[in-house]
Amino acid sequence: MKQKTSLLLLTALLAGAAFGQMDIPESGRIRVDGNLSDWRHTSWTPIDAVIAGTPTNISNAVWSLSWDEDGIIYVAVQYDDTNIVLRKNTKLFDCIELYVRGDTGSTPLDFYKTQTSAQSYLFGLSGDQTTKWLQMGPFKEQPRHNLIEVAVTLQGNHFVYEAAVPLYDTFDPKNRNNCSESELFMDEEIGFDIAIIDVGENDPGGILGYNDRKKRASADQIAEHTLED
C-alpha cells in the first residue's frame, strides 16, 4: 500500500511539472513600456518546449509573471530571433500568444472561438518595427472594454514583450455588462500560459512554449500558477 501511495504521489508531481506550475509574486503596478528596469525582483523562466513545427530561429527565450490586487497579471517576455518576419502583408509573422484563465475551477473547452471562459491574445510589431498590434483570439478588432495593455520593442534581433492583462471569470467580447472580473488574492490559482510564434522567411518555423500543451484547443491545457506575496 505504501509503495502504491508513493507511486501515485510521484505521478502527481510529474504531472504538475509537465503542466508547468510556478509561483507568481506580487509587485504592485508595473509600467508597460517595453523597458524591464522596473522588474527588479523577478526570476526568469525558460520558454523551451516545442509545441509545433521547428522554431529554430528562437533562442534565449524567457518570461516572468507578476500580479497586483487590481486583478492584473503582468507578463514580460524576451528572446532572440535570427530570422525576423514582422506583420506587414504576410499572413504569418513573428509574435506571441497569451492564454489567460481566471476561473480555473471550470472546464471550458474550445474557448478560442468565444473568449468567454478564458481569453487569448496575439500581439507583436508591425513592419515599421515601432507600431504594435493586438488582437483577441480570432477577433480582428480588440474589444475596447478589455483593458489589456501591451508593449513591444526590438533592438537588433532581441525582442522584449510586456503586457498588463486583466483576468475575468467571464468575458463577453460584445457586451461589457456581461463581463465578470476576477478578484485576485494570495494563494489563489490562476491560469496563464504563453507561446512564441516563430515565422522564418525561408523555413516553416514553429511554435515554442513554456510547456508543450495545446492551449488553443482547450482552456484546461493552460498552465496554472499560484499567486504569492
Query: Which of 93, 97, 94 has the alpha carbon at shortest distance from 195?
Result: 97
CATH class of 21-228: mainly beta
pLDDT at 120 (0 to 100): 95
What is d(CA 33, CA 152) in angstroms, rounded to the nearest whole number? 8
Alpha-carbon distance of 168 to 182, in angstroms, equals 5
Q: Which pLDDT does position 122 carry in this prediction?
A: 95
DSSP 177: G
Q: Is the pTM of this model over 0.85?
A: yes
Domain ranges of the chain: 21-228
Q: What is the mean pLDDT of each run of 10 residues along the chain (229 residues)?
A: 35 40 84 92 91 95 93 96 89 92 74 90 94 92 93 97 95 94 91 94 88 89 91
Distance CA 203, CA 55 (A): 9
Helix (H, G, I), strand (E, B) or coil at 40: coil
**Which residue bears the cell 508513493?**
6
State the number of CA atoms in the 13 A half-sphere of 122 facing the CB.
Answer: 18
| 3-state secondary structure at position 184 | coil
Dihedral Cα 132, 158, 223, 171, nearest 10 deg: -10
Q: Which three cell numbers stand for residue 46?
A: 525558460
198 strand-pairing partners: 206
User: Which is nearest to 111 in space by CA: 227, 223, 221?
Assistant: 221
What local confidence, expressed as pLDDT, does residue 4 receive?
36
pLDDT at 105: 65
Per DSSP, what are the bridge partners of residue 163?
75, 150
For residues 75 and 152, the answer to whether their CB atoms sit within 8 Å is no
pLDDT at 132: 95
Which ranges of the chain would DSSP assign to H, the alpha helix? 2-19, 111-114
